[in-house]
Amino acid sequence: MTQNTWRRLRSDPYGMSGLVLVTVFALLATCVWTGLLGHGWSEVSGGRYEGASSGHWFGTNLLGQDIFGRTLFGTATAFEVGLLVTFSSTLLGMALGGLAGWYSHGWLDEIILWLKGVLDSIPFYLFAAAVAYALQGSPWAMHLAMIITFWTTTARIIRGEVMRIKEREFIEAARAIGLPGLKTVFRHVLPNTFHILLVQGTIVFVAAINTEVILSFLGLGIQDGVSWGLMLAESSQEVLAGHFGNFIAAGTSLFLLLMGFNLLADALQDALDVRGALN
Amino acid sequence: MTMSMTGPMTMPGAAETTPLLELRDLCLSFQRQEHVAVDRVSLKITAGRTLGLVGASGAGKSSIARAILGLLKPDSGEILFKGENINRMNPRQLKMARQRIQLVFQEPSASLSPRRTVEQTLLEPLQHFAIGSAHQQREKTLQSLQTVGLDQSALKRYPHQFSSGQQQRIAIARALVTSPELLIADEAVAALDVSIQAQILQLIQQLQRDFGITFLFISHDLAVIRQIADEVAVMYRGQVLEQSPADRFFSRPAHPYSRILLTFAGGGTPQNWTSDKWNLERNRNAGHRAAACVFAGFCPEKMTVCENTEPVLRYIQQADLHGQGPHCVKCHLYDEVESNEYRENEL
Amino acid sequence: MTAALRVKNLSVWIESRSGRIPVVDRISFSIKAGEATGLVGESGCGKTMTARAILGQLPVAGIGVSSDGIEVNGKDIYSLNARRRRALLGRDIAMIFQQPATALDPVFTIGQQIGAVYRRHFGGSQQNIRQTTLESLQSVGFSRAEDIAAAYPHQLSGGMRQLAMIAMATVCKPAVIVADEPTTALDSSSRALILQQLKHLQTLHQTAMLYISHDLSVVRQACRDVMVMYCGRIMETTDCQSLFTHARHPYSAGLLACIPQLGATRPAAISSIPGQVPGAADLPGGCHFAPRCSRAEARCRESVPVMTDEDGCGAACFRPL
């Protein structure tokens, strides 16, 4: 099945360009993590607001830091935030959504739905601020706030899908031999939701990065290190004075990465859709 | 087919054995008794024989299958497997019973887990019931595959890589892997093309012959039942209206509903069949009057008594020494026949 | 007399990376007004694609079609532009589907759905449309047409839904009706009724009926002629009586032998056709049935047998029975 998916994906030009974009950025992020690039992001290596030059491809910012280096480091930050939030919230959403769907209309389902309702009702940015305050400015406050609220969308989708899957006969077959509920859910039901989780994961990734940008504007974002969000926040004042370095660097990178993910998500959804037009 | 004589002899000359599976007054309903799916059903299935359960969809056949496997909880009545009440079994006994009763579903593609290989699917029951060592389990899965006509190369593949006929074979292999005594086939060939259906029926005949597996074969298709059943039971709206040895059923069915089904199956239309009669399956949920025959609304041979009193299931022929099962029918037309009266085999 | 439906050298294929996968391979047949012909075959033989082609639904993405003409009442539907072709559907040629439950829209009443079909092709006053709707419901056997017209699909049983679907298909009195497995989802009593009603309408409106089915016994009850299809080709075409008494093509004979029979005695052994239907992408050269045929010779694998023709009956076989 994965071969077919890959083949379908390969034939989709938009999807492939999305994949290329994402891969390039992922490679850059890896280079930063392994220390190959971007480690000088906080160094003051030039004068203020220098323009683009051979030493500083994107010029320098207010403090004389190399914008290009900061952009590279921002790539790593983006992936850090994105991957951590995506994995955690997806796992959480899958588990809770799966349990809610399997025991649907039971007490566990009611509790999980209630929790979902509560979390969905809280204005997110207030919540993020509250978490930051509660954790006294810990750098992980932002990630935590996102994980705690992002799982609900995944859970809702998975719950609906699980309720559909559990009516199918291969689940009846598992129950017929007396397989316990939890085993059935994790062995038979949830693996059939992976295609949904994959697409949902790419969407959450995009949401996480977007959220980080706004949180950085609010000062609730990355505390240690630099991110494109922070750079954009910085640039909001600078562009008025005619310094576009930060804005162009961060804005373009953000746009490219997010567009790449969006294209990939759409293409994945089509490629994974087994009930295609030809069937 | 061998029949062993066990259990008390309840009447002179009759061969009585403990049936492999027995249902006594089984009742099952949905939506808080609003829709009665199984209505005081009593059935006996003898070891080594195949009982064909026929009836229109909604008659309650699938509900019975699921109740036997514990997938549905009956409201009342007993399910006895080898004489033991399934509902009163402790978990260990229940697990043993489940090993011995297996189910094959209608849609082969839907009954196999799409993300698991054939090997994983076949091993699952063995691992769940902890049958044999890992090596023995692998042996068993190979054996099962060979019995259904597939080979080792199937093990690492996924269900969607097989045709529907092969998928159904895999489903049967999974059912065989625990060496069951009773196999319930719920419309197991209904979704297959006629040539594939023939191949699967051949396989079933082979299993009957070589392994002596007892079958409860559920189908709406009487011609299919004719090929493989030793006995036939007819259901309508949750009740068993007739149970008869297959030869007798197909040559001289007793109940008017059986006769109608056979006429339709043969491509004909029953006599005096007016245009509103065909709504046999309409108003599934409209209850019939409790104290009346469930088929009274549509019966061409309806009498006044049919609308006032529910008929009793009467034996018009007991099981005989030659291994032929009993013939019982729930119809006022046979009120003259004494219940439990033993007659010589009069054929 | 012009045939109501004439199909000439129809081919359908699926576009794949490895080229064209033939699904229907140059089939030709014709049906006269007032007659019923069955197209019989197992899954994957191409009969559904044939139906879609006849109804003008092809080509679509990935599925190609070609023919020397698909003529309804003499008009080649593929020579018309898309708009004219759509105008034809429902008016000159209509389809009856297998699953009445899913083919009917659950949020509209039966009367609204039938009325919508009639209005689309003929228009007219509200009163006229209502009258026609009730008439068409009565013509399929509903004694209480007003009640049925006011009902929603879920309020009817399977057999009644199928009758409603037939009423919808016949309200414009089409010249040709393609019935795709019309009774497969129904119980035996409903099946008998549906076939009865279809036959009645066939005579009443002199409609040409094409029954597509995997069930030979249904075709035997409903049709005068039958075509047996295998892997995209027609293997035998003859009248039903002859097929059942003396099938000429080994595949037809094999298929008939597989059908379970009701009878006084239980058969000792069930016969089947050895092997499996090949996938469309792995079709053998020559006669497609040769690998599974007990009568196959060398030439069967090398060249494709042409359909013999004796009074419109024939078998595509080098060694017919």
Burial of A237 (0-12, 13-18, 19+ CB in 10 A): exposed
User: Do residues A71 and A64 touch, judged by C-beta distance below 8 A?
Assistant: no
Residue-range domains of chain A with CATH: 2-35+66-271 (1.10.3720.10)
Query: Which residues, listed in sequence order, are joined to residue C72 by a DSSP beta bridge?
Result: C5, C75
Interface of C with B in 261-280 (CB under 8 A): 261-267, 269-273, 276-277
User: Do residues C273 and C292 touch, judged by C-beta distance below 8 A?
Assistant: yes
Closest C-alpha among A82, A73, A88 to residue A32: A73
Q: Do the Cβ atoms of B221 and C260 come within 8 Å?
A: yes
Contacts of B17 (CB under 8 A, 6+ apart): B3, B4, B5, B6, B7, B46, B47
Closest C-alpha among B66, B85, B103, B47 to residue B217: B103
User: Do residues B277 and C193 touch, judged by C-beta distance below 8 A?
Assistant: no
Half-sphere exposure of A244 (CA within 13 A, CB side): 4
Reported as a pLDDT band with limits 50, 70 and 90, residue B339 is low
Tell me how far apart the alpha carbons of residues C221 and B301 are, in angstroms, rounded to a whole number: 27
Of the candidate ranges A24-33, A259-268, B237-246, B329-338, the one whose mean pLDDT is the lowest: B329-338
pLDDT of amino acid B346: 36
Q: Could you tell me which chain A residue has the CA closest to the CA of C59?
A: A278
Question: What φ, ψ does residue B325 adopt, rounded to 5°?
Answer: -70, 175
Tell me how far apart the alpha carbons of residues A106 and A26 are, in angstroms, rounded to a whole number: 42
Q: How far is CA A96 from the centre of its chain?
A: 19
Q: Using a pLDDT cut of 90, give the percent of chain A over it.
A: 38
Choose, out of B90, B99, B115, the residue to mutate when testing the contact with A (most A CBs < 10 Å). Answer: B115
Distances, alpha carbon C297 to alpha carbons B18, B320, C277, C286, in Å: 56, 53, 19, 11
Q: Which residue bears the tokens 């030709």?
A: C28
Reported as a pLDDT band with limits 50, 70 and 90, residue C219 is very high
Query: Count of CB atoms within 10 A of residue A27's CB?
Result: 11
Of C145 and A48, the one with more pLDDT: C145
pLDDT digits (tens, 9 = 90+) for C245-272: 999 999 999 999 998 888 777 777 888 8
Residue C28 is encoded by which pair of tokens? Answer: 């030709």
Tell me how far apart the alpha carbons of residues B173 and B150 are, in angstroms, rounded to a whole number: 9
Interface of A with B in 37-66 (CB under 8 A): none
User: Do residues A157 and A200 touch, judged by C-beta distance below 8 A?
Assistant: yes
Tell me how far apart the alpha carbons of residues B134 and C23 are, in angstroms, rounded to a whole number: 45
Is the confidence at residue B3, as pLDDT, over 50?
no
pLDDT of amino acid B274: 60
User: Mean pLDDT of all residues in chain A?
Assistant: 86
Task: Give CA angle at B120 (B117, B123), nearest 5°.
Answer: 150
Q: Which residue bears the tokens 């449309």?
A: C129
Region A124-145: mean pLDDT is 87
Give pairs for B266-269: CB < 8 Å, separation 24+.
Answer: B266/C262, B267/C217, B267/C220, B267/C221, B269/C192, B269/C196
**Letter for the amino acid at C303?**
S
Q: Do the Cβ atoms of C258 and B194 come within 8 Å?
A: yes
Distances, alpha carbon A113 to alpha carbons A100, A109, A117, A246, C249, in Å: 8, 6, 6, 43, 63
pLDDT of amino acid B275: 55
Phi/psi zone of residue C170: left (φ > 0), alpha (ψ -120 to 50 degrees), beta? alpha
Q: Which residues in chain A are contacts of B100 at CB distance < 8 A?
A: none
B190 part of contact set with chain C, CB < 8 Å: no
C62 part of contact set with chain A, CB < 8 Å: yes
- Taking the CA atoms of residue B110, residue B113, residue B117 and residue B120 in that order, the dihedral angle to the nearest 10 degrees is -130
Q: Could you tell me which chain A residue has the CA closest to the CA of B129?
A: A177
Q: How far is CA C187 from the centre of its chain?
A: 20
pLDDT of amino acid C1: 59
Q: Which residue bears the tokens 């809702």?
A: A156
Task: Give CA angle at B282 (B280, B285), nearest 5°.
Answer: 115
Q: Which residues in chain B are contacts of C159 at CB distance < 8 A?
A: 278-279, 281-282
Q: Do the Cβ atoms of A170 and B110 come within 8 Å?
A: yes
Instruction: Measure in Å the smallest separation between the Cα of B166 and chain C Cα atoms.
Output: 10
- SS3 call for B7: coil
- Give the 3-state secondary structure of chain C: CCCCEEEEEEEEEEEECCEEEEEEEEEEEEECCCCEEEEECCCCCCHHHHHHHHCCCCCECCEEEECCEEEECCEEHHHCCHHHHHHHECCCEEEECCCHHHHCCCCCCHHHHHHHHHHHHHCCCHHHHHHHHHHHHHHCCCCCHHHHHHCCHHHCCHHHHHHHHHHHHHCCCCCEEEEECCCCCCCHHHHHHHHHHHHHHHHHHCCEEEEEECCHHHHHHHCCEEEEEECCEEEEEEEHHHHHHCCCCHHHHHHHHHCCCCCCCCCCCCCCCCCCCCCHHHCCCCCCCHHHCCCCCHHHHHCCCCCCCECCEEECCCCCC
Task: Give CA angle at C150 (C144, C152), nearest 5°.
Answer: 115
Instruction: Measure in Å the smallest separation between the Cα of C187 and chain A Cα atoms.
Output: 22
Q: Which residues in chain C are contacts of B198 at CB distance < 8 A?
A: 258, 260, 270-273
Reported as a pLDDT band with limits 50, 70 and 90, residue B7 is very low
Instruction: Measure in Å the smallest separation between the Cα of A194 and chain B Cα atoms.
Output: 10
Q: Which residues in chain C are contacts of B202 at CB distance < 8 A?
A: 269-270, 272
Q: What pTM was computed for the model?
A: 0.84
Q: Do the Cβ atoms of B103 and A176 come within 8 Å?
A: yes
Q: Which residues in chain B are contacts of A178 at CB distance < 8 A?
A: 70, 94-95, 98, 128
Q: Could you tell me which chain B residue has the CA closest to the CA of C215?
A: B194
Instruction: Measure in Å the smallest separation between the Cα of C253 and chain B Cα atoms.
Output: 11
C14 part of contact set with chain A, CB < 8 Å: yes
Query: Chains with 3 or more CB pairs closer than 8 angstroms to B?
Result: A, C
Reported as a pLDDT band with limits 50, 70 and 90, residue B264 is confident
pLDDT of amino acid A277: 36
- SS3 call for B42: strand
pLDDT of amino acid A278: 35
User: Do residues B95 and B130 touch, judged by C-beta distance below 8 A?
Assistant: no
Q: Could you tell me which chain C residue has the CA closest to the CA of B206?
A: C269
Region C65-88: mean pLDDT is 86
Q: Do the Cβ atoms of B195 and C254 come within 8 Å?
A: yes
Closest C-alpha among B276, B282, B248 to residue B262: B248
C60 part of contact set with chain A, CB < 8 Å: yes
Tell me how far apart the alpha carbons of residues A251 and A256 are, in angstroms, rounded to a whole number: 9
Of the candidate ranges B280-289, B326-335, C188-197, C235-244, the one whose mean pLDDT is the lowest: B280-289
Residue B271 is encoded by which pair of tokens? Answer: 């006599």
Q: Do the Cβ atoms of A277 and C14 come within 8 Å?
A: no
Nearest-by-Cβ selection for B71 from A1, A175, A194: A175
- SS3 call for A52: coil
Q: Which residues in chain C are contacts of A277 at CB distance < 8 A?
A: 60-62
Instruction: Measure in Å the smallest separation between the Cα of A169 and chain B Cα atoms.
Output: 5
Tell me how far apart the alpha carbons of residues B22 and B154 are, in angstroms, rounded to a whole number: 37
Residue B343 is encoded by which pair of tokens? Answer: 């007659």
End-to-end CA gap in chain A:
15
Q: Could you tell me which chain C residue has the CA closest to the CA of A11?
A: C17
Closest C-alpha among C71, C62, C60, C61 to residue C10: C71
User: Do residues C126 and C172 touch, judged by C-beta distance below 8 A?
Assistant: no
Q: Which residues in chain C are contacts of A6 at CB distance < 8 A?
A: none
pLDDT of amino acid A47: 67
Interface of B with C in 313-332 (CB under 8 A): none
Q: Which residues in chain A are contacts of B128 at CB distance < 8 A?
A: 177-179
pLDDT of amino acid B322: 66
pLDDT of amino acid B338: 58
Q: Do the Cβ atoms of C187 and B250 come within 8 Å?
A: no
Residue B110 is encoded by which pair of tokens? Answer: 């839907």
User: Do residues A199 and A268 touch, judged by C-beta distance below 8 A?
Assistant: yes
Nearest-by-Cβ selection for B224 from C193, C221, C260: C260
User: Do residues B62 and B186 touch, judged by C-beta distance below 8 A?
Assistant: yes
Please report which helix (H) or strand (E) contains residue A32, including its range: helix A13-33
Q: Which residues in chain A are contacts of C17 at CB distance < 8 A?
A: 7
Region A110-119: mean pLDDT is 94
Choose, out of B57, B150, B187, B194, the residue to mutate when testing the contact with C (most C CBs < 10 Å). Answer: B194
Query: Which residues, listed in sequence order, are joined to residue C95 by a DSSP beta bridge?
Result: C178
ipTM for the whole complex:
0.86
Contacts of C231 (CB under 8 A, 6+ apart): C25, C44, C45, C46, C277, C278, C280, C283, C288, C289
Q: Which residues in chain A are contacts of B106 at CB distance < 8 A?
A: 169
Cis status of the peptide bond prior to B256, with omega within 30 of 0: no
Q: Do the Cβ atoms of B158 and A170 come within 8 Å?
A: no
Reported as a pLDDT band with limits 50, 70 and 90, residue B2 is very low
Is the confidence at residue B20, as pLDDT, over 60?
yes
B279 part of contact set with chain C, CB < 8 Å: yes
Q: Which residue bears the tokens 């019975």?
A: B64
Tell me how far apart the alpha carbons of residues B215 and B183 are, in angstroms, rounded to a whole number: 5
pLDDT of amino acid A56: 76
Is the confidence at residue A3, as pLDDT, over 50?
yes
Residue B199 is encoded by which pair of tokens? Answer: 């191949």
